[in-house]
Amino acid sequence: MIRYIRPGRNRDSTIPLINVVFLILIFFLITGTIAPPLDPDLDLVNTADIDGREPPDALVLHRDGTLSFRGNPIEAEAFMAAHDSGPVRIVPDRNASASRLMEITSSLRRLGAPTVFLVTEQALE
């Protein structure tokens, strides 16, 4: 006599997944409320009317691809000859060519700059 073996039922594995997602949701709800809100009487500083100026020790890359340092036109080689061995900061124009920026950055590194920082604008919205 041949016995018929019923195939075992596969359990639905979505229940543990739902539990994990629920626990993660609860975790983020709790951790999101840990930081205290800003004081309602606090008035933040408004920087909309401040003139944007480059730092005095930074190279400025203009939109036409030329470099200037403290308002005077300069080449990367001349800048590195007069610059100490510290990091170099570049303030690129928003409309400057990315390929020109990469060219200047690699040129500064090749001329001995240990690090090259790009100075950008950070918006708080």
- What is the residue extent of each domain of the chain? 58-118
At residue 102, the pLDDT reads 92
Handedness of CA 17, 18, 20, 24 (dihedral sign): positive
Q: Is pLDDT of 86 > 50?
A: yes
Handedness of CA 114, 119, 124, 125 (dihedral sign): negative
Burial track 83-121 (b if 16+ CB lie within 10 A, e otherwise): beeeebbbbbeeebeeebbeebbebbeeeebeebeeeee
- Cβ atoms of 90 and 117 within 8 Å: the answer is yes
- pLDDT digit string (tens) for 89-107? 888 888 888 899 899 999 9
Collapsed DSSP state (helix, strand, coil) of residue 101? helix
Mean pLDDT to the nearest integer, 75-82 = 88
What global pTM score does this model have?
A: 0.54
> Measured between alpha carbons, how far is 53 from 58 in angstroms, rounded to an integer?
10
At residue 1, the pLDDT reads 65
At residue 112, the pLDDT reads 87
Collapsed DSSP state (helix, strand, coil) of residue 116? strand
* Greater pLDDT, 46 or 3: 3
- pLDDT digit string (tens) for 11-62? 667 888 899 999 999 998 887 766 666 667 666 656 565 555 556 678 888 8
58 membership: H or E segment, kind and range? strand 58-61
- Cβ atoms of 116 and 90 within 8 Å: the answer is yes
At residue 22, the pLDDT reads 94
At residue 56, the pLDDT reads 64
Closest by CA to 59, choosing from 113, 8, 20, 1, is 113
